[in-house]
Amino acid sequence: MKIDTLTIVGVGLIGGSIGLAAKQRGLARRVLGVGRQQASLDRALACGAVDEVFLNHLEAVPKAEVAVFCTPVDLIAEQVLSAVPACKSDILVTDAGSTKAEIVKSLQGRLPPHVHFVGSHPLAGSEKRGPEHADGNLFEGKTAVVTKTNETNDLALNRTVEFWRSLGSEVMVMDPETHDRALALTSHLPHLVASALVSILTPRCSGLTASGFRDTTRIAAGDPSMWTGILVQNRESLLAGLDRLDASLAQFRHALETSDRPTLNHLLAQAKRIRDALDRPSQGAHDALGN
């Protein structure tokens, strides 16, 4: 794959890393970056993530063969829709949003035939923000989900898969709803729980936190407004996940209330088995999904 002009809308940690990776790996001849703040765009230019910057996506998207939207999930569909009338023919539009069903649904049947949208979600990132934390190897060996529905154009799907592979990702293709149900349990619920664990800390005990607490709650330092959008977009799966968590916590609570050591030990051992398996190389993404 070789792109002449790649436009990245939203050059934060993810957008900046896409720019760096695309340039370092020779995927794009030039990278255009779009942002709301000149200061942030200047930092993206300074670290070499983009070649030219724009404050308005309506200027930069029409110049591209491929456009990636790395903006907050509740803005993506609207921004894509506003940009498409001026787009080049056969432009490939994708995104990096942490939710997929609502974005894909919002665009389905609303794009002109010369514009192809395929949803994406690279499972990479951190609680840090801004292009100054961009890393050209951020996607190396990480999973990127690419979504497929009955309406997805096959050629566009293949190009999107190739796009993420060119950045170093291992690509998994699935429907948007499957993605959202899984991410509710693996990302969105953990974020909510980490935030709740931090919230109940009393000032007196914050001095008694060790590395375990810091690791467990690291993700609670993520950007609140970005995460508000994610949690609300995936609220149905997230509420179902909360139900499951409540049921699991109730099992622990009952074992504690009755000082039932065998049950407590069993619950902890079961969790350890699953957690240990996540770190085993054999338990790769594809194995776990039975592919």
- Looking at residues 142 to 181 of the shown chain, list those that interact with its own copies (rule: CB under 8 A): 142-143, 145, 172, 178-179, 181
Contact 220, 167 (CB under 8 A): no
Closest CA relative to residue 67, chosen from 116, 105, 13, 21: 116
Whole-angstrom distance, CA of residue 134 vs CA of residue 127: 12
Q: Which amino acid is at 29?
A: R
User: Which residue from 11, 224, 281, 282 is in contact with its own copies, where contact means CB under 8 A?
Assistant: 224
Q: Which is nearer to its own copies, 112 or 203 (CB)?
A: 203
Q: Which is nearer to its own copies, 110 or 244 (CB)?
A: 244
Q: Taking contact as CB under 8 A, which single stretch among the options 13-21, 52-60, 108-116, 204-212 is the one that binds its own copies?
A: 204-212
Question: What is the per-residue DSSP string for 172-226?
Answer: EEE-HHHHHHHHIIIIIHHHHHHHHHHHT--GGGGGG--HHHHHHHGGGGS-HHH
User: Which residue from 141, 204, 281, 282 is in contact with its own copies, where contact means CB under 8 A?
Assistant: 204
Give the count of residues interacting with its own copies (CB under 8 A). Answer: 95
Q: Is 280 in the site for its own copies (CB under 8 A)?
A: no
CB of 108 to its own copies, least distance (A): 22
Site string for its own copies, 230-269 (x = CB under 8 A): -xx--x--xx-xx-xxx-xx--xx--xx-x-x--xx-xxx
Contact 95, 105 (CB under 8 A): no
Within 41-80, the residues that bind its own copies by CB under 8 A are none
Within 96-135, the residues that bind its own copies by CB under 8 A are 123-126
